[in-house]
Amino acid sequence: MTASGSRAAADPAGTGLPIAGGRETARELWRLSRGHRLRLAAVALLGIAGTGIDLIPPVAIGVLVDRVRAGTAGSGTVLLVGALMAVSAVLGTACIAATVVLAARAYHTVLAALREQLVDRAMTLPRHLVERAGTGDLISRSSDDVTAVADAAPTVIPALSVSTFSIVVSLVGLAALEWPYAVALAVVLPVYAFVMRWYLRTGPRVYRAERTAMSARAQQILESQRGYATVLGFGLGTTRHRAVMAFSWAVAVRSLRARTVQSMLNARLNLGECLSLAAVLVVGFVLIDRDMSTVGAATTAVLMVLRLLGPVNQLLFVVDTLQSALASLSRMIGVVTVPVTDPGTVSTRPGVPAAVRLRGVEFRYGGGPPVLADIDLDIPAGGQLAVVGRSGAGKTTLAAVIAGTLRPDSGTVHRPLRTAVITQEVHVFAGTLRDNLTLAAPDATDRDIRVALETTGAAALLALPDGLDTVVGAGGHSLTDAQAQLLALARLQLADSDLAILDEATAEAGSAHADQLDRSAAAVLAGRTGIVIAHRLSQAAACDRILVLDRGRVVEQGSHAELVGAGGVYAGLWQAWVAGQQVAAEGAPTS
């Protein structure tokens, strides 16, 4: 299988995480509604009953008007009409309240399930997708978009659960009263249709752009926070501030455009309301003038239209909020529905002798020159390969392609399903030492943890103030760089992966802990397939085979002894390494 091909649904820019289409969003929501469909049916029945009851007051008032004109209305008639209106108000309000409550429960239950799936799927996304899109996109979807969907509930739920039923029932009641009134209103309905057509062509595009701008801003803020030390070290505070401000202004511009569209929608709805009332009043005047209707019936018709215009405007106006929520919803579902299996790589299958196999792999960043070119590589199960080369040779890129973090532009990549990567930038999570160690092995016991720490030479971590219960990371006990790297190696030991990739994972170079970290890495790699991006050539010399990269191409490969004897690129690197070590030893202070 080639390592090309991508998910069809993507964001408009083509670089972010996928965005679900309308059908895909509807299909996923229908799936999430399982277990709530009886409640949704009850919502429909209560909504129809509640809006039907709300038609009683206009009809009662119309009858009262005709009785007054005929001189047959007495105190009993007024009391009866008043009682009907009071009872209908209570019953209608109760039905509508029950409708909104049931709809809100279903809405928030489905949203909670979707949020849980979003978080769960975000933890297992194909790594090349997250790398390409930027973590800001993922954070925006799990924060800004979730908030947008949740905040839409107070306006969207009443509109969808009540207004829709009000429109249907009111139109039926108006037609039953006098069909010319229904016709008059029907003539004006195309105005609303044109409003909706205009908005549906404009709104989604505007809100998608707004959400995309928010994702870009989140990425800039996140990068500034993560690179805080670099920003301070190089005096980049002003530069980063300008970058964040530029992206923030982009969000402001997109948000102003969205609010402008909202105002234009409101103006068009007001026009539709005026035309609807005018049409019904004109028809009522004509019918009464020709004795084809009564003042009471015309009053009922006007009251029905007034009651109908509110839900119509509410429903159409809430489409503004609904479109924004749907834009966020499609972004959330776009993450949830990312295929579980990464199509860019193929895991090693039974019968395939090589634990890792690359054929014709090429990779480039964007439209730049090739960073990797025509890479063929086989690593047998249990074999250990060191990758060396000058800075910029493509070592880290090769490790990322094998790990699946980056997808090659062409060629095939086979690797074990259980692959773990440790880089030089080790993250210590806020939590106990035990929590940090069991991240990749949740079922590990304290005994398993101690064995892993002893195997990797990190048993000294048990001497922390509270042992395994010591809180480390942000707000807790601060670990040194060497301790953090030992923790990562112990974590890898507990994970017991088939393939371990150490991308300068022990590059705490020049410190007194270098030899200890090398021994710990060797202990972790023992008995499993390993790839070492060697920072120190002493690490490379300990591996079964060495791969030398130069400008993205394999220029040499073989054992340490073979390459030193060949007198090529590696031999030169080794001589320079040995000379450097001798100089360092001679310059070290003596006791």
Distance CA 329, CA 26 (A): 10
State the helix-helix crossing angle for 37-53 and 75-122, rounded to 10 degrees: 160
Tell me if 196 sits within 8 A of 269, measured CB to CB: no
Domains, the chain, with CATH or none: 26-336 (1.20.1560.10), 354-587 (3.40.50.300)
Length of the chain in terms of residues written: 591
Q: Give yes or no for residue 47 having a pLDDT over 70.
A: yes
Q: What is the pLDDT of residue 340?
A: 59
Q: Maximum Cα–Cα distance for the chain, whole Å?
A: 121
Q: Which DSSP string corresponds to 286-355?
A: HHHHTTSS-HHHHHHHHHHHHHHHHHHHHHHHHHHHHHHHHHHHHHHHHHHTS-SS-TT-EEPPTT--EE
The interaxial angle of helices 56-70 and 295-336, nearest 10 deg, is 170
Q: What is the pLDDT of residues 180-200, one digit of tens each?
A: 888 887 788 788 778 878 887
pLDDT tens for residues 556-569? 999 999 999 998 88
pLDDT above 50: residue 46: yes
What are 431's strand-pairing partners? Answer: 472
pLDDT interval class at 54 (50, 70, 90):
confident
H-only helix segments in 496-568: 514-525, 537-541, 560-566
Tell me the pTM: 0.56
- 50 — pLDDT class (breaks 50, 70, 90): confident
